[in-house]
Amino acid sequence: MTYAPGQALGGLMATLGSLPLGSVDEQGVAWRLQELDGWDSPDVRAESQPREADHGAWPSPVYLGERPITLTGSINAPDLATLDGAIDQLRALPLMGTVLTVMETVPKQATVRRSGRILIKYVTDTVATYSVLVTAADPRLYATTETVTVLRLPTVVGGLTFPITLPLTVDATVVAGDTTVVNAGSIDARPQLRIAGPVSQPLISVTGPDGTATSLLYSGDIDAGDWLDLDCDAHTAYYNGVASRRSLTSGTWPVMQPGASNLAFRAGAYSAAATLTATYRSAWM
């Protein structure tokens, strides 16, 4: 059977690195994906301690475990040489840091590493079957597109100050350093934050849809032309991408709960040039 490059084969569709599983590549090789085991849900890590002289047990926090995923399917090629080339591509799958994207109604991705043998069996001179085991150390599934939000510090525009008290009210407009951010997923998303100077003692806070607020303070200064990168997953703080400033952070690392949250940017003093850039992906269990 002859396949057209880019042709969808029906059923499951995914990309593993550059491999178009569920469709046809530029060499006319049909990469069928028949099973995707482990994409549905990761395991959980939880322990419980029996209650002494009482019924039941004391529960511990529950966390998601790593996510092992097995991809199984077949490779259909025009000839033996092309089949061998396709199998070589599969064998050359990187050991670490490969992106697996699954084409669901909302496409999602995970960063995976090889965690087992790549099993290949020749069926004919043009057909082979494969089975690949990979593991996502971070079990969350992420949106394939990033959301980027840029904030400036709030200012006050208008209003008057009088040397005496008058029975008069003059309104001022506050241009707030706040915005709404939306995590369309089902588990907390952890943003990457970059604060560009000049700014003194910047504060970032996120208030979730349930009213829970988390705030992170950087107690140092960021000079003009410099920046501070905050990784809310790894809990790292790097000045200009090199020097660790983790010791100058205090508070709770912000997360974005599922739904709409409020993101706020504040500082010890106003700076017109200071910015906060928040980058994140919606996350699912």
Are 129 and 214 in a shared domain? Answer: no
Has residue 6 been placed in a domain? no
pLDDT band at 172 (very low <50, low <70, confident <90, very high): very low
The answer to whether residue 166 scores a pLDDT higher than 70 is no
Are 88 and 178 in a shared domain? Answer: no
The answer to whether residue 1 scores a pLDDT higher than 80 is no
The answer to whether residue 162 scores a pLDDT higher than 90 is no
Has residue 4 been placed in a domain? no
Are 126 and 205 in a shared domain? Answer: no
In this prediction, residues 15-39 reach a mean pLDDT of 96
Query: For 174-199, how does the pLDDT look when each residue is reduced to its tens digit (9 = 90+)?
Result: 345 799 999 999 999 999 999 999 99
Alpha helices (H) in the chain, listed in sequence order: 80-91
Are 39 and 99 in a shared domain? Answer: yes
Has residue 168 been placed in a domain? yes
Q: CATH number for the domain including 71?
A: 2.40.30.200
Q: How many domains does the chain have?
A: 2
Name every residue whose Cβ is closer than 8 Å to that of residue 58 and which is 6 or more positions away in sequence.
Answer: 48, 49, 50, 51
Are 138 and 261 in a shared domain? Answer: no
> Residues 166, 184: contact at Cβ < 8 Å?
no
Range of the domain at 102: 14-143
Has residue 45 been placed in a domain? yes
Q: Which of 97, 118, 143 is the last residue of a domain?
A: 143
Has residue 219 been placed in a domain? yes
Has residue 39 been placed in a domain? yes
Q: Which of 114, 143, 172 is the last residue of a domain?
A: 143
Q: What is the pTM of this model?
A: 0.86
For the CA atoms of 63, 191, 258, 107, the dihedral, rounded to the nearest 10 degrees, stands at -90
Q: Which of 116, 143, 170 is the last residue of a domain?
A: 143
Question: How open is the CA angle 219-222-224, to the nearest 5 degrees?
Answer: 160
